[in-house]
A and B are shown apart, each in its own frame.
Chain A
Amino acid sequence: MMLSIKQQPFRAAVLVLVWGWLLFLVLAPNMLVVGASVMTRDPSTFIALPLNLDAYRQLFNPLYLEVFLHSLYMAAITTLVCLLIGYPFAWALSRVDKRQQMLLIFLLIVPFWTNSLVRTYALKLILATNGLLNSALISLGVLDEPAQLLYTEGAVIVGLVYLLLPFMILPLYSVFEDLRDDVLLASHDLGAGRFATFKNVIVPLTLPGVLAGVMLVLLPAMGLFFVPDILGGSRNLLVGNVIKNQFLDARNWPFGAAASIVLTLTMALLMFAHRLSKRRLGEEGA
């Protein structure tokens, strides 16, 4: 039985709020970005008519293509490292007793209470030439003189992994929580060893979590411009740096907007893949 809006004021209010939020704070700004990307750069008003696709054409400039590819490369390494650490971590997390589980999840969430910019500066102090890590390695006799850790590609990746690891672990933890023991036992019972069970049962059943984690890590890893700003020096740029520079320094809004739309489309593509993998598991439709 359907109730009218009048009979359910709370429901109506929530719906209006959610839709209003999505329309005015998500859809409208994105439309503005789409609009800006097809306009012409203007020194005084930032954007002006006529409409054209110059900004997109500019994206194929070898210089920017190289930045995009390098950024994608660093993001991919970051995602891979997060996956390699996060997968076994999430697995273990789902198998320890409830009390330890609460504690570990708490520890995973604690860093969110500190601004990520502050945490990145803290990382800079550790990685600096005379920083904690170098001093420790020298006093332990591992190194004779400080190594160049800061302003390297490695530093950027460490920073990205540090900031994004929880976003990989949490969705993986949720799929491992849903992975029932008896399904694994059934696999063994039917003659599968550890590796065959991992390949045929565990991996396919945790794939949605892997894709969700990749989505939550890969895209932000291309956009977190302050990490290369603080840890990376001038050579290790992310797409996020390009976008930021176009808006704030180069004042080329159409180009910045076009780059940002390419990022959004990449995200949409990943989400589509995620949906497909979930449908294969039969979590949607019937």
Chain B
Amino acid sequence: MTETLLSLSDISKQFDDKTVLDELSLTIDDGEFITLLGPSGCGKTTLLRMMAGFELPDQGTVTLSGVDITQTPPENRPLNTVFQNYALFPHMSVFDNVAYGLKMEKRPKAEIQERVEEALAMVQLEDFAKRKPHQLSGGQQQRVAIARAVVKRPKMLLLDEPLSALDYKLRRTMQVELKRLQRELGITFVFVTHDQEEALSMSDRIVVLKDGRIQQLGTPREVYERPANVFTARFVGQTNFFPGRVTKIEGERISVDVFGLNRDLSKPSFRVAMNQSLHVLLRPEDIRVLAPNDTEGVAGKIVERNYKGSTLDSVIELEDGSHVMASEFFDEDDPAFDYSIGERVRVSWVDGWEWLLAEEGDEPLTDEEELAADDAEH
């Protein structure tokens, strides 16, 4: 299970003097579902195309099962791709599309017939074999693209934002279906997406990319609960960044001053010094909104509330003007649960649910901060 299937080492790539991949190394295990996640321009698609053989690296090597395939053309790589816009052959029927790869291998007719039917059955399109791609819905075309890619039994399936053109509900269905396919086929899936929710729900491991470098590599849980840096924390899920200052270091415990509250926390993995500023990260669901007469927490008032069905999302403005996002599950028995805008509350969290990050030199602004900066200019 943990055998290495593909490894990329020291891969660099430039387009018109712009560095897209920067000495990137990555090892993909046999049978895993790994997701390349990042904003547009982070290099995730280029990385995938390099695995497929559509792009050659300026520097570095690509190795598949111990064989160097850096210069191998795509037609000779035992990997197949599911393209973002499906890239079905418009002049061929569904059957011929799926059969294409096997025909190129010059397989006997009977075998092609059998394997194509099997692949179409797997994506529940047996009855559509004679149709042309343009007679299918987007979701059906997507399934044909998947059948076409898996019919060759590749060692690895590369999926380039395959669900981005589908509507929300169909996306959900296809996510489940892709997971099922991956389990049944036992093929390694490399999945590219910019949708962090999709990445979290589908992957065994996530590679968070930015500016052609890996920001973090870990399980969805690690990436979400223990982000390696400010970028990952901001990109994956919503996060409250509270400014903290170290006031005491004692063995494995430290005290941090957050909004004037002194919280006793366990020491983070990075070095801390007295009076050092750091980020205290809390996900909206870690925040507790308390009654104004509570003794715990920081005072603030509700400025936004958003009913989400299963949760109630609210934004609380603290006295210093900063905003806190909170997401709480409904508790029918709690009469104080539903707030109205302007209502005074206190904000707190359970000790141990926070995550500490060191401050970085040039941190990107959040959208909100950018907007505030824009407003200040005008």
Contact = CB atoms under 8 A, between A and B. Distances in A.
Interface in A245-286: 280-282, 286
B73 A191 contact: no
Contacts of A51: none
Interface string A149-191: 0000000000000000000000000000000101101111111
A196 interface: yes
Contacts of B89: 183, 186-187, 201, 205
B157 to A, nearest CB: 11
A192 B97 CA distance: 13
B74 A188 contact: yes
B87 A185 contact: yes
Contact residues of A: prevailing secondary structure: helix
B134 A286 contact: yes
A88 interface: no
B135 A190 contact: no
Given A185-B74, A189-B74, A189-B75, A200 B100 contact: yes
Given A189-B75, A190-B152, A191-B105, A282 B91 contact: yes
Identify which of B88, B104, B133 gathers the most chain A CB atoms within 10 Å of its CB: B104
A191 B75 contact: yes
Nearest to A281: B91
B218 interface: no
Contact of A182 (B53, B83, B104): B83
A190 B158 CA distance: 12
A180 B100 contact: no
Interface in B79-117: 79-81, 83-85, 87-91, 100-101, 104-105
Contact of A192 (B87, B104, B132): B104
A127 to B, nearest CB: 42
B54 interface: yes
A12 B91 CA distance: 38
B6 interface: no
Contact of B132 (A180, A183, A201, A282): A282
B279 interface: no
A190 B85 contact: no
Identify which of A186, A188, A205 gathers the most chain B CB atoms within 10 Å of its CB: A186
Identify which of B76, B87, B105, B149 gathers the most chain A CB atoms within 10 Å of its CB: B87
A190 B74 CA distance: 8
Contacts of A190: 75, 80, 100-101, 104, 148-149, 152
Contacts of B53: 188-189
Contacts of A183: 87-90
Interface residues of B, number: 29
B52 interface: yes
A141 interface: no
A193 interface: yes
Contacts of A111: none
A43 interface: no
B133 A191 contact: no
A186 B162 CA distance: 14
Contacts of B134: 282, 286
Contacts of B85: 180, 182
B141 to A, nearest CB: 12
B75 A193 contact: yes
A29 interface: no
Contacts of B74: 185, 188-189
A204 interface: yes
B78 to A, nearest CB: 9
B72 to A, nearest CB: 11
Contacts of A205: 89-91
A191 B91 contact: no
Given A196-B104, A200-B100, A286-B135, A189 B80 contact: yes
A54 to B, nearest CB: 47
Contacts of B90: 183, 205, 281-282
A180 B87 contact: yes
A226 B139 CA distance: 57
Contacts of A189: 52-54, 74-75, 79-81, 149
A106 B142 CA distance: 40
Nearest to A193: B75
A188 B135 contact: no
A208 B85 CA distance: 23
A191 B154 CA distance: 11
A183 B132 CA distance: 15
Contacts of A280: 91
B75 A188 contact: yes
Interface in B286-328: none
A188 B73 contact: yes
A49 B361 CA distance: 99
Contacts of A180: 85, 87
A204 B105 contact: no
Interface string B122-166: 000000000011110000000000001100100000000000000
Nearest to B132: A282
Nearest to A197: B75
Interface of B: 52-54, 73-76, 79-81, 83-85, 87-91, 100-101, 104-105, 132-135, 148-149, 152
Give me the 6 closest cross-chain CB pairs, A-B, nearest first: A190-B101, A191-B104, A182-B87, A186-B87, A188-B74, A282-B132
27 contacts: A182-B84, A182-B87, A183-B87, A183-B88, A185-B52, A185-B54, A185-B83, A185-B87, A186-B83, A186-B87, A186-B88, A188-B53, A188-B73, A188-B74, A188-B75, A189-B53, A190-B149, A190-B152, A191-B75, A191-B152, A192-B75, A192-B104, A201-B89, A205-B90, A281-B90, A282-B90, A282-B133
Given A187-B100, A190-B104, 9 more contacts: A185-B54, A186-B88, A190-B152, A191-B104, A191-B105, A192-B75, A196-B104, A281-B90, A282-B133
